[in-house]
Amino acid sequence: MKTYSIAAIPGDGIGTEVISAGVEVLQALAKREGNFAFKVDHFDWGGEYYKKHGRMMPANGRDLIRKHDAILFGSAGHPDIPDHITLWGLRLAICQPFDQYANVRPTRVLPGITSPLRSVNDKELDWVIVRENSEGEYAGVGGRVHQGSPLEAATDVAMFTRPGVERIMRFAFRLAQSRPRKLLTVVTKSNAQRHAMVMWDEIAVEISREFPDVTWDKMLVDAMTMRMVIKPQSIDTVVATNLHADILSDLAAALAGSLGIAPTANLNPERAFPSMFEPIHGSAFDIMGKGIANPVGTFWSAVMMLDHLGEAAAGARLMRAIERVTADKRFHTPDLGGTAGTADVTAAVIGAVEGAN
Ligand code: ATP
Ligand code: MG
């Protein structure tokens, strides 16, 4: 029997609550499937670790998880620690060296969940946003000078490389091609940012020639936010830069009903390193410890992890279980307007996984 090794990094805040729920569901699923197992190793990295050790993860942290088949990540963020330290010290410290350059964010209105867009039902909002995850605006290039003086200045340089743009563009075209509508929107801001964004547009044209069956268009990011709200049915697959897609995918999550249900995969498509799966929400300290965090974003991320591991049938079973549970309003957490707790939703999904099909 195949055993997959999973590195679980719950992180901070509700990250710990949703990851333990996710691991419970994965173990129940493996038992139900019967032909594979999970060996889950937990790593207590994050804000509390930082307070004790002065860093978010140990110096050899990446070596400890390099050989795992996948990483299941909660959230990094702590009210006592600046966000750029928690982000760069843990999440990006894994994503960047493991070259997880394709960040994939499916967005759908799940059964039973109401989109704030009145006109939309569950068939009409079915997107995948592909976020460039290794360079661009979050390349970390820049600096500050003359701190404490009136002449203080700071830069963040958005750095795009041709290979970096080519590989994410090719990934997005391939993903669009694998979906029924074969439709891709390339998002830029090439009217105002006239160097790198123009290169994006040019590379999109070049790569599109490899995918003659994919229909594609390009859109400025500001116009795209409007289109997502006004004509959501016209969108299928989207590719955008690190910053633009970061913003678009929060909007997408909200349009799908809640930040709490949205999943992410940080993929190293070449499989030279493990890929990482996480809900898109953060540590949400306002609801921590109350037992009301919505675990659906983590469960859906686990579906993406199963697909990546080659266990698509198990992933489909878990997705059916999730949808059966969201369809029942008794299992809606407060972010969806309900009164259920994390444990109620988890138990219901496990029940549905163990059910007949
Ligand atoms: P971070 O600083 O780590 O990004 P955050 O405090 O900004 O975390 P987010 O998780 O990004 O919080 O989400 C914003 C708000 O959305 C939270 O304060 C919380 O109220 C709500 N929220 C996010 N995730 C969930 C969830 N899984 N279940 C319920 N509510 C959630
Ligand atoms: Mg946040």
Whole-angstrom distance, CA of residue 291 vs CA of residue 8: 20
Beta carbon of 282 within 6 Å of any ligand 1 atom: yes
Q: How far is the CA of 282 from the centre of ligand 2 (A)?
A: 5
DSSP state of 113: P
Tell me how far apart the terminal alpha carbons of the chain are, to the nearest angstrom: 21
Burial 75-95 (b: 16+ CB within 10 A, else e): bbbbeebeeeebbbbbbbbbb
Largest CA distance in the chain: 69
Which of the ligands is closest to the CA of residue 79?
1
HSE-CB at 142 with a 13 A cutoff on CA atoms is 14
Beta carbon of 88 within 6 Å of any ligand 1 atom: no
DSSP state of 282: -
Beta carbon of 135 within 6 Å of any ligand 1 atom: no
Beta carbon of 68 within 6 Å of any ligand 1 atom: no
ipTM score for this prediction: 0.94
Residue with the nearest Cα to atom 26 of ligand 1?
Answer: 260
How do the pLDDT tens digits run along the chain, 357 residues long? 899 999 999 999 999 999 999 999 999 999 999 999 999 999 999 999 999 999 999 999 999 999 999 999 999 989 899 988 888 899 889 999 999 999 999 999 999 998 998 767 656 789 999 999 999 998 889 999 999 999 999 999 999 999 999 999 999 999 999 999 999 999 999 998 899 999 999 999 999 999 999 999 999 999 999 999 999 999 999 999 999 999 999 999 999 999 999 999 999 999 999 999 999 999 999 999 999 999 999 999 999 999 999 999 999 999 999 999 999 999 999 999 999 999 999 999 999 999 865
* The pLDDT of residue 353: 96
How, if at all, do strands 183-188 and 237-240 pair?
Answer: parallel
Beta carbon of 75 within 6 Å of any ligand 1 atom: yes
